[in-house]
């Protein structure tokens, strides 16, 4: 019989509300994940209590609160440092911007609240039936509460549990209506397919395609967040990438995939997407591979359009820019590669390995060599040389630009042969040059 474990803090939030006569439900993604036996990364609570009333109840019980989104009914309560989002049941008004409801209205029926949620697996709620009668002692649990699912009062009006069991992502209500209201749901749908290893219901997949133009109203940051989360999934993501192709989403997410030349490395999109799954689930690696048909400049532009951080942009463009560098096959060449690419070297080797499948073994050897070289502390930069600028000036009388040029030349010598990184040897070489 399946069981779910609910952390103490959540139990306490539910209890405080129920004790005051307000039904309090765990809802949405947290219940979905709990029913799947995963521990949810955040827990959401929904209740008919109005936001001001929730603030009163939690404050009276001595808990700090944050009025996160009072207008939308959301209050965050901090219980033992854990933030818990509690939202009043609500109904969304009209959507005219393909993203936000023009207004929200509170309601006292949970069914109305569940109807506004995106997918059936996200539109369930559960309640602990007798919690209002518990006393403080019963709450003083240390490991959270593990309850059998049968003991919960589950509200599942749209077949969410069945879809969980079948592995299906299906819109609540008419898919085209729901994806037109808020086009971000299109990318959330793809992400949930990948995160859960699910498939879209056929009518929902059709609507992903039919409603795709709505994505042009979604901000770049939101698109980037969903893409990044999809690529970061530990489960294989190739099916999700194929789903994006079938439903014509790349045009809005990463048009480079359609417009650029991937054929240099891959026979078709299918093999590109399969190659993505050979990489670790680090979004910057996977994104770089998806951008292999561009160059460093194109990758930088794509990251800029998605408003990704400078750190991610630098990494992705370094990886893409290095795809055509020859695979380094000797210690000296691996050192040169590490010196040229710095912190991006290992990532660049991984991306290049995924692009040049025939050379995979060589790239793996290069990565192993890189590990050894780093562990040994071989000299990889001018600052690691056994001589510095002031020595070159005092011992050899070099001046100005000559100093920098000589240091660069000496680094080259040492990258070739690490045993030459000795003060006397380098000064002799510098003196002879
Ligand atoms: P995750 O936290 O892994 O992204 P989640 O399902 O918990 O998954 P949240 O963004 O935390 O997603 O939202 C919590 C719940 O709110 C969802 O499960 C869903 O019921 C509802 N929800 C969130 N965003 C939307 C949306 N754009 N349209 C409709 N319902 C939504
Ligand atoms: Mg969530």
Quote the Cα angle for 290-292-294, to 5°: 115
pLDDT at residue 97, rounded to an integer: 86
* 19 exposure class (CB count in 10 Å sphere: 0-12, 13-18, 19+): middle
Q: What b/e sequence results for 85-106 when a residue is b if at least 16 CB atoms lie within 10 Å of its CB, and e otherwise?
A: bbbbbbebeebeebbebeebeb
Find out whether the beta carbon of 85 lies less than 6 Å from any atom of ligand 1.
Answer: no
- Give the separation between CA 171 and CA 117, rounded to whole angstroms: 9
Find out whether the beta carbon of 184 lies less than 6 Å from any atom of ligand 1.
Answer: yes
- Closest ligand to C-alpha of residue 38 is 1
pLDDT at residue 144, rounded to an integer: 84
Q: What is the pairing mode between strands 153-155 and 90-92?
A: unpaired
Question: Which of 42, 44, 185, 192 has the most ligand 1 atoms within 8 A of CB, as the residue to mutate?
Answer: 44
Question: Which of 104, 122, 190 has the most ligand 1 atoms within 8 A of CB, as the residue to mutate?
Answer: 122
Contact 314, 283 (CB under 8 A): no
Structure tokens at 33: 């994940």
Find out whether the beta carbon of 101 lies less than 6 Å from any atom of ligand 1.
Answer: no
Nearest CA to ligand 1 atom 12: 29
Find out whether the beta carbon of 44 lies less than 6 Å from any atom of ligand 1.
Answer: yes
Nearest CA to ligand 1 atom 28: 118
- Give the separation between CA 42 and CA 85, rounded to whole angstroms: 8
Find out whether the beta carbon of 40 lies less than 6 Å from any atom of ligand 1.
Answer: no
Query: What's the whole-model pTM score?
Result: 0.93
Which parts of the chain register pLDDT below 50? none
- Closest ligand to C-alpha of residue 214 is 1
pLDDT at residue 142, rounded to an integer: 63
Q: How far is the CA of 44 from the centre of ligand 1 (A)?
A: 9
Contact 220, 307 (CB under 8 A): yes
Q: How far is the CA of 116 from the centre of ligand 2 (A)?
A: 15
pLDDT at residue 141, rounded to an integer: 65
Task: Kindly report the three-state secondary structure assignment for every residue of 112-171.
Answer: HHHHCCCEHHHCCEEECCCHHHCCHHHHCCCCCEEEEHHHCEEECCCCHHHHHHHCEECE
- Give the separation between CA 41 and CA 10, rounded to whole angstroms: 13
Ligand 1 atom showing the smallest separation from residue 123 Cα = 20
Find out whether the beta carbon of 92 lies less than 6 Å from any atom of ligand 1.
Answer: no
Task: Kindly report the three-state secondary structure assignment for every residue of the chain.
Answer: CCEEEECHHHHHHHHHHHHCCCCCEEECHHHHHHHCCCCCCCCEEEECCCHHHHHHHHHHCCCEEEEEEHHHCEEEEEECCEEEEEEECEEECCECCCCCECCEEECCCHHHHHHCCCEHHHCCEEECCCHHHCCHHHHCCCCCEEEEHHHCEEECCCCHHHHHHHCEECECCCHHHHHHHCCHHHHHHHHHHHHHCCEECHHHHHHHHHCHHHHHHCCHHHHHHHHHHHHCCCCCCHHHHHHHHHCCCHHHHCCHHHHCCCCCCCCCHHHHHHHHCCCCCCHHHHHHHHCCCCCHHHHHHHHHHCCCCHHHHHHHHHHHHCCCCCCCCCHHHHHHHHHHHHHHHHHHHHHHHHHCHHHHHHHHHHHHHHHHHHHHCCCCCHHHCCCCHHHHHHHHCCCCHHHHHHHHHHHHHHHHCHHHCCHHHHHHHHHHC
Beta bridge partners of 65: 77
- Give the separation between CA 380 and CA 374, rounded to whole angstroms: 9
Distances (CA, A) of 259 to 290, 322, 351: 12, 21, 20
Find out whether the beta carbon of 185 lies less than 6 Å from any atom of ligand 1.
Answer: yes
Nearest CA to ligand 1 atom 2: 29
> Tokens 């765990």 label which residue?
26
pLDDT at residue 71, rounded to an integer: 84
Q: How far is the CA of 122 from the centre of ligand 1 (A)?
A: 7
Q: How far is the CA of 28 from the centre of ligand 2 (A)?
A: 7
- Give the separation between CA 319 and CA 348, rounded to whole angstroms: 4
Contact 252, 259 (CB under 8 A): no
* 380 exposure class (CB count in 10 Å sphere: 0-12, 13-18, 19+): buried
pLDDT at residue 317, rounded to an integer: 98
pLDDT at residue 354, rounded to an integer: 97
């Amino acid at each position: 019989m399946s069981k779910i474990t609910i952390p103490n803090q959540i139990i306490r939030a539910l209890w405080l509300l129920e004790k005051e006569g307000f039904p309090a439900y765990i809802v949405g993604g947290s219940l979905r994940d709990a029913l799947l036996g995963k521990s949810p990364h955040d827990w959401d609570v929904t209740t008919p209590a109005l936001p001001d009333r929730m603030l009163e109840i939690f404050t009276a019980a001595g808990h700090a609160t944050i009025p996160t989104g009072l207008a939308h009914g959301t209050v965050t309560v901090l219980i033992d440092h854990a933030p818990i989002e509690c939202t009043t049941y609500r109904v969304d008004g009209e959507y005219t911007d393909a993203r936000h409801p023009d207004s929200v209205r509170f309601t006292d029926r949970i069914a109305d609240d569940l109807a506004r949620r995106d997918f059936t697996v996200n539109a369930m709620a559960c309640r602990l039936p007798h919690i209002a009668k518990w006393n403080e002692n019963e709450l003083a649990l240390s490991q959270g509460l593990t309850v059998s699912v049968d003991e919960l009062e589950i509200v599942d009006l749209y077949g969410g549990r069945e879809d969980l069991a079948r592995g299906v992502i299906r819109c609540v209500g008419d898919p085209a209506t729901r994806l037109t209201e808020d086009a971000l749901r299109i990318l959330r749908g793809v992400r949930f397919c990948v995160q859960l290893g699910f498939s879209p219901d056929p009518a929902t997949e059709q609507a992903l395609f039919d409603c795709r133009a709505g994505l042009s109203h979604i901000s770049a940051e939101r698109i980037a967040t969903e893409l990044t989360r999809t690529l970061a999934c530990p489960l294989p993501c190739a099916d999700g990438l194929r789903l994006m192709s079938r439903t014509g989403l790349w045009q809005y997410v990463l048009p480079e995939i359609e417009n650029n030349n991937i054929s240099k490395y891959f026979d078709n999109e299918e093999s590109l997407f399969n190659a993505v799954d050979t990489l670790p689930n680090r979004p910057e690696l996977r994104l770089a591979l998806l951008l292999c048909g561009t160059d460093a400049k194109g990758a930088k532009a794509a990251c800029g359009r998605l408003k990704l951080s400078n750190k991610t942009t630098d990494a992705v463009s370094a990886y893409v820019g290095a795809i055509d560098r020859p695979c380094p096959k000797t210690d000296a060449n691996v050192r040169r590669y590490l010196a040229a690419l710095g912190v991006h070297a290992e990532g660049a080797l991984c991306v290049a390995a995924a692009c040049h499948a025939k050379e995979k073994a060589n790239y793996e050897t290069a990565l192993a060599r890189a590990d050894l070289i780093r562990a040994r502390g071989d000299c990889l930069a001018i600052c690691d040389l056994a001589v510095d600028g002031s020595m070159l000036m005092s011992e050899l009388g070099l001046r100005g630009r000559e100093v920098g040029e000589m240091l660069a030349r000496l680094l080259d010598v040492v990258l070739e042969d690490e045993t030459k990184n000795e003060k006397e040897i380098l000064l002799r070489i510098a003196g002879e040059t």
